A and B are shown apart, each in its own frame.
Chain A
Amino acid sequence: MALTGFFLVVFLLVHCYINANVLFSNPEENFNRAAHFMGSNILIRIMEIGLFLGFILHIVQGYQLEIQNRASRKSRYAVSAGNKTSKWYSRSMALLGTLILLFLVLHLVHFWVPSRFGGLTEVQYDGKTYHNLYAQMQDIFAVPWVVVVYLLGCFSLSWHLLHGVQSAAQTLGITSKNYYGTIKTIGIVFSIAVPLIFALMPLFVHFGWQINTGGVSLLF
Chain B
Amino acid sequence: MQHYSMNLKLKVWRQRNANEQGHFETYDVENVSSEMSFLEMIDVLNEQLISKGGEPIAFDHDCREGICGMCSMVIDGRPHGPWKGTTTCQLHMRAFKDGDMITVEPFRANAFPVIKDLMVSRSAFDRIIQAGGYISVNTGNAVDGNALPIEKDKADDAFAAAACIGCGACVAACKNASAMLFVSAKVSHLALLPQGEPERKQRVVNMIAQMDKEGFGSCTNTYACEAECPKEISVLNIARLNREYLDATLSAD
Contact = CB atoms under 8 A, between A and B. Distances in A.
B221 A171 contact: yes
B105 A69 contact: no
Nearest to B79: A81
Interface residues of B, number: 44
A116 interface: no
Contacts of B244: 173
Interface string B82-103: 0000000000000000000001
Nearest to B228: A85
Contacts of B76: 79
Most chain A Cβ neighbours within 10 Å, of B22, B109, B223: B223
Does more than half of chain B's interface fall in helix, strand or loop, or is it mixed?
mixed
Contact of A170 (B176, B178, B224, B238): B238
A128 interface: no
Contacts, number: 106
Contact of B220 (A90, A174, A176): A90
B188 to A, nearest CB: 11
Does more than half of chain A's interface fall in helix, strand or loop, or is it mixed?
loop
A218 interface: no
Interface in A43-60: none
B236 A72 contact: no
Interface string A37-77: 00000000000000000000000000001001101111111
Interface of B: 11, 13, 22, 24, 74, 76-78, 103, 105, 108-111, 114, 157, 173, 175-178, 215-224, 227-228, 235-236, 238-246
27 contacts: A65-B220, A68-B218, A69-B178, A69-B217, A73-B109, A73-B110, A74-B110, A75-B114, A76-B108, A77-B77, A78-B13, A78-B24, A79-B74, A79-B77, A81-B78, A84-B227, A86-B175, A91-B175, A169-B239, A170-B242, A171-B221, A171-B242, A173-B245, A173-B246, A175-B236, A176-B236, A176-B239
